[in-house]
Structure 1
Amino acid sequence: MRAFLFVPALAATLISGCSEAQTNQSEGSSMASETTGQSEQDGKKGKKGKATDIANLTQVGKMDEVPESSGLALTGENGTFFTHGDDGNQPILYKIDTEGEVLARIEVAVKSQDWESVTRDNTGNVYIGDVGNNNNDRKNLVIYRLNPLNPQIVQEIKLKYPDQTEFAPKKKDRNFDCEATLWHDGQVYLFTKDRGRGETSKVYTVPDQPGSYTAQLRTKLAIPGQVTDAALSPDGRRLVLLAREEMFVFEGENLAAILKAKPTQISLKGAGQTEGAVFTSNQTLYISTEQGRFYTYQFE
């Protein structure tokens, strides 16, 4: 059974200037170290980086029973997370512990075209983003809202982008794929993966209520990478945009200020195809990879 509520499309569009990323190279930074710098130098010399060389990153487990982990969210119970498989896998939410061991499998009563992200609100609802759009040609983008205690009742948040007029656009203009969503203050934020130029992540929002919406374009972020997930710290002062073997860290007094800040780029070279991220505290970030590796990254 699915519940539907149709709401008029949003009209207002607010676009702010791009924030440029900077690589953190200072010796005393809490987000980088000499080890990370050495790993980057080795990469330039053609050597492969190792996860053990990345400062503040620790592998804590492996998800052997989760096929291609592609998102990560808290469950509301200490020491447990939700994750799910990537494109082509079954519509199942996996409940895992801090070592990546599967505690439960929750079958969701929907079809999965390209699940790419999962996020949770402050009342226990989970939002699964079936918004993967590799070819930028989908017209059926949807976010599924459900309570994991009753996964047979699923509500749909259907969406379209206000600035997409071609399906698919020219290759250089393909910036309508999305692998990163984030719930905050009654809105679901979507951060695009720039498959065209690989230089900009657009930030859209839709209400967290079921219905059909034209997403609101909030801002554009200058990100020299392809975003795979988003995580906001519990105090709301730090945003991480995960990308493949790297992440971009924004800081500010609140999310509005964060989205205007200049991000710090941190290399995760050697960690694998990093796909999921969620904070468990203001300092501790959990990261999952498509290969099943499970890490913590510790901010100081």
Structure 2
Amino acid sequence: MKEVRTRKGAGLMRKVQISRCLMRCSLRWVTLAGWLLLTSCSVLQPETQRRPVSVGRAGRWERMIIRDPRIIESSGIALSRWNDAVLWTHNDSGDIPRLFAMDTAGHLLAEYRVAGAQAVDWEDISAARSDGRGLLLIADTGDNRRERSEYQLYLVEEPQIPAGGIHTGRIAVLRCIRFVYPDGPHNCEAVALDPPENPRRVLLATKERRGCAVYLIDLAEKGTPVVARRIIGLQAISRVTGMDISADGSRLILLTYGDAYEFRRRSGESWRQALSRHPGLVRLPRRRQGEAICYGRDRHVLYLTSEGSPLVVWRVRRGLDR
């Protein structure tokens, strides 16, 4: 007997068929999702490949503008170890070897010529205290074309700035560290003395289009040139333009053109161990190309500069979870 379906019955059957099809598709997607979840749990990338997970946003911030024709392209910034209200900066390539001091209210305080130094491509500055005196480390480490045969780090004693007016003076190089990398030339715009009290080493982060690498120079080494030692690669952080270590030595921050990445070091850890974990992503105010960063006296405060004239200095106060 031939089966006869009404239009209403046929429509009902089509609905049932569609429903069954959707259920089969859903089961396939659930199965696929479960397989992907198990795969992602069983085949994890190395720590250095992972993206940052914790996020800290810029809280209150203020912008200071220093209008002085001598500062045309700030490329590094460091907080004075003598005075919490004084910052040091310098120009990028093309300038004479000199440093500028400014206060945290945005006033230029001093200009110091650095005797015994060359300025091929100054990219960063770091401050520390050693044996009761302040030290500044100037990094002549820029190499956009990756063609330099060696690089220089200049250690100078931080001068105490006289009060009144804009002071000019000269400071001498205490030590010039000539160095090379074990794997050929690199462009580096980020250095830091470690620890900030009685430093024993210099950390350098390379600037690459994809990822970066962190190198170490032991200040006790006397070779000429010294060979920097590669300690870790960070594949998730690119185009690093600045670095600093907090005054208590517990945090290291890497700046990029946009935001920054902060690593926390536990007691007794090396920086290689700390850099192997997830960094915190620090959201920063929008600005022109970010070139320099340093901590304030406490790690809740960050100072930033950008390229161009007039010089813009950002002071960012942020909240920390611990």
Q: For 2:64, which of 54, 58, 61 is the aligned residue?
A: 61
Contact 1:230 1:240 in 2 (8 A): yes
Contact 1:239 1:258 in 2 (8 A): no
Contact 1:100 1:294 in 2 (8 A): yes
CA–CA distance in 2 between the matches of 1:260 and 1:235? 20
Equivalences for 1:63-212 in 2 at 5 Å? 63-65=66-68, 66-76=71-81, 77-109=83-115, 110-123=117-130, 124-149=134-159, 151-164=171-184, 176-185=186-195, 186-194=200-208, 198-208=209-219, 211-212=223-224
Between 127-136 and 144-153, the greater mean CA deviation after superposition = 144-153
Q: Which runs of 5+ in 2 are unaligned?
A: 1-45, 160-169
CA–CA distance in 1 between the matches of 2:49 and 2:80? 32
Q: For 2:312, which of 290, 293, 298 is the aligned residue?
A: 293
CA–CA distance in 2 between the matches of 1:208 and 1:93? 22
Per-residue Cα deviation, 1:163-222 (whole angstroms, up to 9, x for no partner)? 12xx6xxxxxxxx1000000003101100000xxx2221111112356520111111112
Equivalences for 1:38-57 in 2 at 5 Å? 55-56=58-59
Task: Give SS of 1:21's match.
Answer: coil
CA shift at 1:293, angstroms?
1.4
CA–CA distance in 2 between the matches of 1:263 and 1:299? 16
CA–CA distance in 1 between the matches of 2:236 and 2:171? 35
| CA RMSD, Structure 1 to Structure 2 (Å) | 2.1
For residue 276 of structure 2, what is the aligned residue in structure 1?
A: 260
CA–CA distance in 1 between the matches of 2:285 and 2:300? 21
Distance 1:17 1:157, change over 3 A: farther
CA–CA distance in 2 between the matches of 1:261 and 1:157? 30
For residue 225 of structure 1, what is the aligned residue in structure 2?
A: 238
Verify: 1:276 aligned to 2:303, yes or no. no
Distance 1:237 1:211, change over 3 A: same
Equivalences for 1:29-40 in 2 at 5 Å? 31-32=56-57
Contact 1:72 1:119 in 2 (8 A): yes
CA–CA distance in 2 between the matches of 1:296 and 1:154? 31
Aligned length in residues: 245
For residue 261 of structure 2, what is the aligned residue in structure 1?
A: 248
CA–CA distance in 2 between the matches of 1:153 and 1:70? 20
Q: Which residue type is aligned with residue 59 of structure 1?
A: E
- Percent sequence identity over matched residues? 26
CA–CA distance in 1 between the matches of 2:316 and 2:189? 20
Stretches of 4+ aligned residues off by more than 6 angstroms: none
Contact 2:264 2:274 in 1 (8 A): yes
Structure number with bigger Rg = 2
CA shift at 1:78, angstroms?
2.1
Q: Which runs of 5+ in 1 are unaligned?
A: 1-15, 33-54, 168-175
Task: Give SS of 1:151's match.
Answer: strand
Contact 2:189 2:205 in 1 (8 A): yes
Contact 1:67 1:89 in 2 (8 A): no
CA–CA distance in 2 between the matches of 1:293 and 1:117? 16
Task: Give SS of 2:315's match.
Answer: strand
Distance 1:101 1:82, change over 3 A: same
CA shift at 1:67, angstroms?
1.8
